[in-house]
Structure 1
Amino acid sequence: MNMTKKFWKRLAVIVAIAMIIGLVGFANAFMGNPVSKMLAQNTAEEILKTKYKNKDYQINDVVYSFKDGYYHARISSPSSIDSKFNLSINMFGKLEYDNYASITDGYNTADRLNNEYRKLTDPILEKIMLKYKGDIYYGALEIRTKNSIDYESEDDDIPEYAMVQESLEVDKLYDIRKLGRSVGHIIIYVETDDISPKNAANILKYVREEFDEAGAPFRAIDLTLRHSKTETGSVPKGELNIINFNYDDIYKDDLVEKVKKADKEAKEYYAKLDKEKLEQEKEVDEK
């Protein structure tokens, strides 16, 4: 009897220890641990002292990401608005990735300018969408990497007016309205029972009027008209799509005809992509 009690006590202890180890492992996977965070902090400090010793970079914080299991030291410079990057460090304090290139390749500058353009366009679009129904609407600057432009395929849909990201100057204070005029892109989805070219033309005119009044230029606009949801939650088939419709074409006398042509071209483009996707899936299945 005593042996039986001892067995169950030992088993209970083993189970308890196993549960504790499991909980610790679970917590470490999702929240990290203080020892690994300290190692990451030390590694980040050492890298700033050696690799970036002539810079005024500072560590803002060190955070754990359960998505990749790394500790990310977020670095910035008090004297440079675009100088910020991350050091990704594993649980043993080894540097796995340094995205310092986000400064030199223009990514951070492009991101800053896009945020500035959003601040300019968001209030205008919110006002416009008080008149229409839809929850997708935003403005963006078409800034693409040189590599993506050089190796563009027909599927990439990169506008010909897109700006090269690498040409941006770090910390330069650009005229955001001037950039909007050359590479600003507005995207709007409207839910309506009237998906006619005439209705699309009227919406385009209203959008341009509001942007002109606010002094916020754009280069092109994507507009999608789709049917409103029915009482059952389904959406009737049929859409009107125009892609990269030029700002200068909005007030032309033949606007409705231009919308019809743009919608036809968009449908042909999407049909082509769908066909290519099906062919690729078929090839994969045959293999």
Structure 2
Amino acid sequence: MNKIKPLKIVAGLSALVLIFGILFVTNAFVGNPISKAFANKSIKKYVEQNYSFLDLEVEKPVYNFKFSSYMARAKSKTSIDTKFSIYYKKGKVQRDDYDSYVLGMFNTIQRLSDEYSALAKSLIAKELGFEKNTTMVMYDKGEYEKGNKKLKLDMKFDRNLPMDAEVILRVDLKDNSIESIEKVLRDAHKVFLDNGCKFTKYGLYTEENDGMHVMVNDVTPAHIESGEFESLLKKAKNGEDADGIRVFIKGEEKK
């Protein structure tokens, strides 16, 4: 019996060490309930004091182990573009990103980009047959950095907005030859123009499971309409001056 008791003590201590170890690791990565409760209370008070004029819902804070801080997202019940994050650390709210994300129109321009992307994706699927494409549209970030007065909170999407936009065709090419790339970009340009979509730049991206990889950047409508587009793509592929066009093709060309 005397031999069994020390073994029980060792087993108990080992269990305690294991439990404390698990709690320590858990606390390091997800925080602890007490600090989370304080963070939640402080963030809600901060919102009441600073943003009572907004109809906000505040989500429960999430712990960021990398910065040892909590972050909670606040979003309006009535405004689609009014949403931002609040950051809590060392017992108090450190900052929020309302100015940049809401007043700075980052949320607005991101939403408009997403809506334009959905339209472009649908057109490429319907008109060019790339059903699984993930085409995306990006407005020039300078539009909100310089305070474009055309941007309004919660404004409706309009493909004719007077803002520079770039479209990146993200498709699965069965043929990654220069001739095929030229045709896809040219056909896409026509489809977009026919549907009232105007882009200042075009790009193309594809990556196949067999190691094929294609990237084309900084193509303009003028390049496509020049009558020398294929020649420019070939020059860019060979590393020659091609009026700013960049082409990268990895793997043997498929025809």
The 3-state SS of whatever aligns with 1:76 is strand
1:217 equivalent in alignment to 2:215:
no
Q: Which has the higher helix share?
A: 1
- C-alpha spacing 1:265/1:24, structure 2 compared with 1 (3 Å): same
* Correspondence for 1:140: 137
Aligned counterparts of 2:182 and 2:188: Cα–Cα separation in 1: 10
CA distance in 2: counterparts of 1:170 and 1:36, whole angstroms? 38
Distance in structure 2 (CA, Å) of the matches to 1:28 and 1:225: 42
Per-residue displacement from partner, 1:219-259 (whole Å, max 9, x unpaired)? 22113578x66xxx455xxx875422112442443333343
Q: Which residue of 241, 250, 255 corresponds with 2:229?
A: 255
User: What's the counterpart of residue 120 of structure 1?
Assistant: 119
The answer to whether the 8 Å contact 1:195/1:225 transfers is: no
- Show the counterpart of 1:155: none
Q: What SS does structure 2 have at the residue aligned with 1:177?
A: coil
Q: Which residue of structure 2 lines up, in the alignment, with residue 88 of structure 1?
A: 87
Cross-structure match for 2:185 = 204
Number of residue pairs the alignment of both structures matches: 242
CA-CA distance at 1:175 after TM superposition: 4.8
Task: Please give the alpha-carbon distance, in whole angstroms, between the structure 2 residues aligned to 1:99 and 1:131.
Answer: 38
Q: Name the CA shift for 1:103/1:12 in 2 (closer, same or farther; >3 Å).
A: same
Say which SS state the counterpart of residue 85 (structure 1) adopts: strand
CA separation of 1:58 and 1:18: change in aligned 2, threshold 3 A: same
Q: Distance in 2 between matches of 1:115 and 1:49?
A: 31
Once the two structures are superposed, the pairs formed by residues 48-197 of structure 1 within 5 Å of their partners are 48-66=47-65, 68-90=67-89, 93-101=91-99, 102-127=101-126, 130=129, 137-145=134-142, 163-168=143-148, 169-171=151-153, 173=155, 175-179=157-161, 182-188=164-170, 191-193=173-175, 195-196=177-178
Q: Distance in 1 between matches of 2:98 and 2:216?
A: 38
SS of aligned partner of 2:34: helix
Aligned equivalents of 1:240 and 1:24: distance in 2? 48
Structure 1 Cα separation of the partners of residues 30 and 76 of structure 2 = 27
Seen in structure 2, the aligned counterparts of structure 1 residues 10 and 170 have a Cα distance that, compared at 3 Å, is farther
Cα offset for 1:89? 2.2
Q: Which digits, 9 at most, give the CA deviation of each residue in 1:181-225, with x for residues without a partner?
A: 7323233465445523x3333222221233234443322211357
Report SS of the residue matched to 2:24. Answer: helix
C-alpha RMSD over aligned residues: 3.6
2:217 maps to 1:243: yes
Structure 2 residue runs without a partner (length 5+): 248-255
Q: Give the distance between the partners of 2:69 and 2:52, measured in 1 at CA.
A: 24
Q: Which amino acid aligns with 2:47?
A: L
Paired residue secondary structure (1:82): coil
SS, match of residue 153 in structure 2: coil
The percent identity for this pair of structures is 24
Q: C-alpha deviations, 1:140-174, integer Å up to 9, x for none?
A: 223225xxxxxxxxxxxxxxxxx343414441525
TM norm structure 1 = 0.67
Where in structure 1 are there 5+ consecutive unaligned residues?
A: 146-162, 272-287
Secondary structure in 2 matching 1:38: helix
Residue identity opposite 1:205 in structure 2: R
Q: Tell me the SS of whatever aligns to 2:159.
A: helix
Paired with 1:224 and 1:44, the residues of 2 have a C-alpha distance of 42
Question: Counterparts of 1:74 and 1:254 in 2: how far apart (Å)?
Answer: 50
